[in-house]
Every structure is written in C-alpha cells, then in structure tokens.
Structure 1
Amino acid sequence: MAQIFPASADTWLRLTLVMMVLGLAGAVAVAGGYADSSYATLVGWVQDQPVPFSHEHHVGGLGIDCRYCHTAVEEGPRAGLPATHICMTCHSQVWTGAPMLAPVRQSLARDEPLVWNRVAAVPDYVYFDHSIHVSRGVPCVACHGRVDKMPLMMRAQPFQMGFCLDCHRDPAPHLRPPDQVTRMDWSDRQDHPESHAAYGRAMVAKYGIEPRKLDDCSICHR
C-alpha cells in the first residue's frame, strides 16, 4: 500500500498541537498579568482634574477633614465631590487671584459646577454604599490610601473583587472607632496593636457582622 503522508507528518502534527497549547497558555498568562497590572487597575495613576487639588496640602498640611468636601459620605452610597461653594469658602479669602484656581472662580461666576474626574470607582454592576462602611468604622485610608501624602490624587487600591472579599471575609482588623475613620494615621499611633485587634473583634460582635454572609454574591451584585 502506498504511503499517503510522509513519516514526518506525525511529528509536525504533534509539534503543531504543542505550539497551540503553549500559545493558549501564554495568552492566558498575558491576559492575567494585564488584569493585575497598573495599566488595568490604574493603581498609582494620577487622574487629570480641572484644578490640581493637593490632598497632601489640604489634608496633611491644613488638617481639613474628608467630610468637609465629601459631604455625603456619612449619609448615602456616594461620598460626593466638592461643590464650587465649598472651595470658595476659603478661596474667596486666600489665593484669590491664583491662576490655577481660575476654573473655580469661573465656575462660581457662571454658576456651572466643576466637573471632577472620579479617581476611585467600582464598576457599574457593583453596589457600594459609603455610609454603611463609615458608620461601622471602616476608615477612608483602607480604600483610598494615605491621601494626606498625595500631592495629586491617585488610586491606591485595585478595587477588584478579591480586594473587597478579603475585607468582607475578615473585617475586624480594618475597623476603628467611627469618629476616627477620617484620621489617616490612626493605626500608626496605636501603642498596643493587640487592643486594635480586640476592638475590631468586639465591633464585629456588637454590630452583628457575619463574615460568612458578606461574601454572598447578592451583597455587591444586586
């Protein structure tokens, strides 16, 4: 019987299959690496804003509380972005002619709100309520990082599902007294870390927080 395929055909077929498998594995690895990279998560990236607002100056230097500008953080799902009149509370008195603040003055004169670009945001299909986290003692720094050290605001956390689940499955270490949630260095100044851990466990019991239920899909996907 005449041989239709050469003897090397089987070798080439196996080599082709091996290359296809390696190529698929490489593609998956690249995709996974990209998903965790700063290009995808935007961690460490500065977002352009209409005014180069410095949290380092206003929070770290002047000691302005987060709630002064983010007025809805204790009452609703969104923290709220600063309205023009909040900026002008101070800047109608100081740095009144600063060129970088021209957009703020124009916003007031034209009665048009400043359009701030969100730095920290979860996808539209994720439900997140600031008020419940703040009222239970989850600090701003847990998600937004040390904003008091940021000359320009940047994203501190990836806001991927794993980040949220890590906290939901073990919330106690992240909790602090609700009146200290906006303090950036609270954990740094605790002389007895064990008391912080004990506080977290006590608050989990007091508020009836059940970590085994907090990783249910319906908590964040409604």
Structure 2
Amino acid sequence: MALLAIGSAYASYEYYHSSYWHSLGLARGQPVLFSHRHHAQELGIDCRYCHASVQTAAFAGMPSTHTCMTCHSQIFTDTPMLKPVVDSARSGQPLRWTRVNSLPDHVYFDHGIHVAKGIGCTSCHGSVGKMALIAKGQPLTMRWCLDCHRDPAPHLRPEEEIFSLSWTPPSDQPRRGRELMAHYGIERSHLTNCSTCHR
C-alpha cells in the first residue's frame, strides 16, 4: 500500500512538472493565423512594433487592428486568412486574441520592469522567432520565476539585445551578467520577497 502511495505521489509530481501540464509548445487557437516566425524572424519586425507598451507597462499589449492594417492595407489585402483583420478594421471591433501566457490573479508581473532590467523576450516567451503559431515557451511557474529571481545574472542581456530573437549568452556570461546587474541596478536582496510578485 505504501508503495502504491509513493508511486502515485511520484506520478503526480512528474505530471505537474511536465510540459503537457503547462501546455508548453501547444499553439492556441487565434482569430488570425499569425506567424511570429514570418513577421519577426523572416521580415525582422521588432517586437515593439506590435507590442508597443512592452517597455513601459505591466502588460505588453496586443496589436490593434490599425497596427496590422499599416502593412496589410497595401499587401495581401485579399487573402482569406486576413479576413478577420479586414472585418475588424471595417467594423471597428477589435480582434479577440487568445492569451497564451497567463498567470494566476494573485501574481503581479510587469513587462516594463523586466525589459528595463535586461530580460529579453525569448527568456520567458521561448524561441518566438521559430514559432509559426505562437505557443507557451516556458512554464512560468513560481519555481521557474524564482530560479531567475535568485540568480538573474545568467539571463541578463545588454540593452541592444533585449529584443533580439537570436541572442545567445556569450561564453563569458557569468562575468558579463555580474556587470549587467550593476549596470541595471539590480539588487538581488528584494527579488525573492513575497511582495515583489504577490501584492
């Protein structure tokens, strides 16, 4: 009986920590089949073009239909795949995107401060430039977040690389990370305080 209980506990633990439980790599249905790989990687459109408030607000923001129509009023205007965008522009009703990365209500997260302190988009969102359809790239669990909050240096980037989809840490990242912590004014002492993320 004890063996069964231990086995069940172990199986539950593994399931909870699995990529399946956290929906990693699973694309969610969206009103438009938008490819980050095509737009961000192949065309080189900067993350901030569509997610305009990512540097200043808690929420990165979703692009307005006007943002999409900046290009698509001129190119691929009659593509059936873009019909929801065209209909949205005509009606004035915004597209209803399905959230891919969501956190519990008791968690406070601010995109702006993470970007301002040198955390790149792909650190949390995964290899967005390789995703034909957007999917959750990291588990975003408390444990996952705390791993970075306890030791942010390995994850920090220079300012000019924050929005790069292809940045990889250099071989001397431990040294650079320490320098970047000083540059960004990061104090580790408060990063693991409960009130940093739970308000």
TM over 0.5: yes
Deviation at 1:149, TM superposition (A): 0.7
For the pair 1:123 / 2:104, whether they are aligned, the reply is yes
Identity %: 50
Distance 2:44 2:182 in 1: 33
Out of 152, 160, 163, the position equivalent to 1:179 is 160
For the pair 1:40 / 2:17, whether they are aligned, the reply is no
Distance 1:211 1:48 in 2: 38
Distance 1:157 1:99 in 2: 32
Distance 2:116 2:189 in 1: 20
Q: Check whether the contact 1:138–1:178 (CA below 8 A) recurs between aligned residues.
A: no
What are the Cα deviations for residues 9-54 of structure 1, in whole angstroms up to 9, with x where unaligned? Answer: xxxxxxxxxx2x3333233223212211223201111111000100
For the pair 1:220 / 2:197, whether they are aligned, the reply is yes
TM-score by length of 2: 0.94
For the pair 1:200 / 2:181, whether they are aligned, the reply is no
For the pair 1:211 / 2:191, whether they are aligned, the reply is no
Residue 216 of structure 1 aligns to which amino acid in structure 2? N
Moved more, 72-81 or 119-128: 119-128
For the pair 1:57 / 2:38, whether they are aligned, the reply is yes
For the pair 1:108 / 2:89, whether they are aligned, the reply is yes
For the pair 1:146 / 2:132, whether they are aligned, the reply is no
For the residue of structure 2 that corresponds to 1:37, the secondary structure is coil
Distance 2:184 2:54 in 1: 20
TM-score by length of 1: 0.85
Moved more, 61-70 or 116-125: 116-125
For the residue of structure 1 that corresponds to 2:109, the secondary structure is coil
Structure showing greater radius of gyration is 1
Deviation at 1:208, TM superposition (A): 3.3
For the residue of structure 2 that corresponds to 1:109, the secondary structure is helix
* Greater helix share, structure number: 1
Deviation at 1:179, TM superposition (A): 2.8
Residue 185 of structure 1 aligns to which amino acid in structure 2? S
Distance 1:110 1:208 in 2: 46
Q: How many residues align?
A: 199
Residue 221 of structure 1 aligns to which amino acid in structure 2? H
Residue 46 of structure 2 aligns to which amino acid in structure 1? D
Deviation at 1:184, TM superposition (A): 1.2
Residue 218 of structure 1 aligns to which amino acid in structure 2? S
Deviation at 1:71, TM superposition (A): 0.7
Distance 1:208 1:181 in 2: 16
Deviation at 1:206, TM superposition (A): 3.3
Q: Check whether the contact 1:43–1:154 (CA below 8 A) recurs between aligned residues.
A: yes
